[in-house]
Homo-oligomer: A and B are copies of this chain.
Amino acid sequence: MPSSPERSAPRRLGPDQRRAQLLRVGLQLVTSEPLESVTAPAVAEAAGVSKGLVFHYFPTQRELQAAIARAAADQLIGLFARADPDLSQPERFASALDAFIDFVEQQPASYLAIARVSGADELLNAVFEDFRDAVVDLIALGFGRAAPTPRERLLLRGWVAMVEELILQWVATRAISRRELTEYLQASASELLSSAFGQEPPALRGG
């Protein structure tokens, strides 16, 4: 069994720290394995703790997996939101798109955990819905809409779904260059987001 920093961590952790440790271990596993394989025994083994301890914090396997998917979603949302505040809106938009592509390229299994197992389970479905809603909120905020209308939310969710599929398919097929992918996504944002917000296409390609 490979050693890991998590395994050599002190055994005496407070409940919050222990829960956070188990989630970190789960997040690490889901970077390379489908969420279905990230079971309580797998997390217990990788963390060097008993299965019972994992079940103490996550009473069912679904709760464990949903918490891991949510942690992955939070991580990605954090990357989107982390752009330098000194950047212009088009630059921040481009930076968030890049972060999205990087994340899916580097750990497609983590993204699939958020985006592709949702219908199977209410908890996982909530993770997926919350993730998409958070992305929509971020985009709307970038365009100066703190409270997007239902119509704006709907159209933005459609665009986000397209972005997701294009990145996943691009990682799988590399049918176009990364540069073409980015330009296509930015052009579609110009067209579709401007349609959603009922204004002239914002210049998303930078200043």
Contact = CB atoms under 8 A, between A and B. Distances in A.
Interface of A: 34-36, 112-113, 115-121, 125, 149-151, 153-155, 157-166, 169-170, 173, 175-176, 184, 187-188, 191-192, 195
A150 B165 CA distance: 14
For the complex, would chain A's binding face be called helix, strand, loop or mixed by DSSP majority? Answer: helix
Copies of this chain present in the complex amount to 2
Q: Interface centre among A153, A164, A184, by most B CB within 10 Å?
A: A184
A35 B125 CA distance: 14
Contacts of A175: 149-151, 153-154
B155 A184 contact: yes
Residue from the set A164, A175, A187, A195 with the largest chain B CB neighbour count within 10 Å: A175
A49 B176 CA distance: 51
Contact of A169 (B118, B154, B165): B154
A184 B195 contact: yes
